[in-house]
Amino acid sequence: MPRTPIEPRFKIEYLSILDSEGSLDTALEPDIPPGDLKRLYRAMVLGRRLDERMVRLQRQGRIGTFAPIKGQEAAQIGSVFALRRTDWMVPSFRETAAMLWRGWPIEKLLCLFAGRLEGGQPAPDQHDLPITIPVATQLPHAVGLAYAAQYRGDDVVVMAYCGDGATSEGDFHEALNFAGVWHVPVVFVVQNNQWAISIPLKKQTHSATLAQKALGYGFPGIQVDGNDLLAVYAASREAVARARHGEGPTLIECVTYRLGVHTTADDPTRYRSDEEVKAWERKDPLPRARAYLEKKNLLDDGLEEQVDAEIARAVERFETMADADPLTIFDHVFAERPAHLEAQRAELRERLGADPPRRVDEERPLPTPMRGQRKTSRWAN
């Protein structure tokens, strides 16, 4: 019997509308109202300026380790803009800009990276999940949300974010497999920033694209210029519409770049060259979007100053909050606390005594234990 070629159901396309040189494909340009364009650009600037401020706060010891988003603003804002408020957004750990767009207060995000429980708690009416640190574990949850929406007949779409490193995890493939089998309304946004910490993309996969990984699970994938706000939005709008009309999932690979560190505990100079970073800086999504708005006379004077003032007010609110109650570490684990945790909680409460809560901006030097002395909590007296 002769071999019979089987044509794939979908083909992989690359989409770019506004390139780094300022060339615009007007035939593909999405129709975005001027007011929305201004909001989108402001959201990108807010994401960038907050990112820079958070790096300084972390270096000063005022918040903990976090993952900067510099260079990935268009991939996040262009995609999340396609959602309704009633849709679900499922982030990984580098979606600060998307979370701001969805209504997360800046001070709540700062609380999160200061280790505060309430920082990861969405508002009651918010259809968002909190950030997820373990790579790719949020993706099966996103598919579960989409399956529940489908089962209930809810008119909602789920958008789940991950990075290129997540595509090397089993959770990614399990999520895509079930999404394809169940034909659920989910959009996977893969921010391909070229590096999984220090592992380059070429050492993660031999695939020509990450978008084509969707084909093995029976649904379409598309690769877009992830630094092109217009292209990301156009692809996301189409994918969300497909999902909402019962046509199943889509994978969007946003080709972008992490201009900064992986996290504030990382030193990227140890594994990538300055030449590579400079080449991608020329593709920075913010100058590209700014030039686009300039041609339309839509730029507001003093935008950066307004954004900086908004951030400063949020930082002030964050730093005037009373310290978290350390006894909450025993909550939200068991419905009924077992005896050994009750005993530990009572011991900690006794050690804390009647000390008043301290502000998050106050210094709390950790004791240096002597040899043979057990390390104690920063909360211990």
- Tens digits of per-residue pLDDT, 234-245? 999 999 999 999
Q: How far apart are CA 307 and CA 100, in angstroms?
A: 13
In this predicted model, which residue has the larger pLDDT, 358 or 8?
8
Strands 195-196 and 199-200, bridge-based pairing: antiparallel
In this predicted model, which residue has the larger pLDDT, 332 or 226?
226
Strand order in the sheet with 250-255: 14-15, 221-225, 250-255, 186-192, 158-163, 88-90
Residue position matching structure tokens 């211990």: 380
Name which of 285-289, 294-298, 350-354 the model is least confident about: 350-354
* Confidence band of 354 (pLDDT split at 50, 70, 90): low
pLDDT at 128: 98
Q: Assess whether pLDDT exceeds 80 at residue 366.
A: no
Closest CA to 244 of 129, 88, 127: 88
In this predicted model, which residue has the larger pLDDT, 323 or 86?
86
Q: How far apart are CA 267 and CA 292, in angstroms?
A: 33
- Tens digits of per-residue pLDDT, 22-61? 899 999 999 999 999 999 999 999 999 999 999 999 999 9
* Confidence band of 369 (pLDDT split at 50, 70, 90): very low
- Tens digits of per-residue pLDDT, 257-267? 999 999 999 99
Q: Assess whether pLDDT exceeds 50 at residue 356.
A: no
Average pLDDT, the chain: 92
Q: Are 328 and 341 in contact (CB under 8 A)?
A: no
Q: Assess whether pLDDT exceeds 50 at residue 371.
A: no
What are residue 257's DSSP bridge partners?
A: none
pLDDT at 375: 36
CA distances 54 to 253, 280, 311, 345, Å, are 27, 22, 10, 33
Q: Classify domain 14-319 at the CATH topology level.
A: Rossmann fold (3.40.50)
pLDDT at 7: 80
pLDDT at 2: 87
Q: Which sequence positions are flagged as catalytic?
A: 258, 262, 271
Whole-prediction pTM value?
Answer: 0.89
Q: Where are the domains of the chain?
A: 14-319, 329-381
* Confidence band of 71 (pLDDT split at 50, 70, 90): very high
pLDDT at 370: 38
pLDDT at 1: 82
Q: How far apart are CA 149 and CA 380, in angstroms?
A: 47
Sheet strands (E) in 202-312: 221-225, 250-255
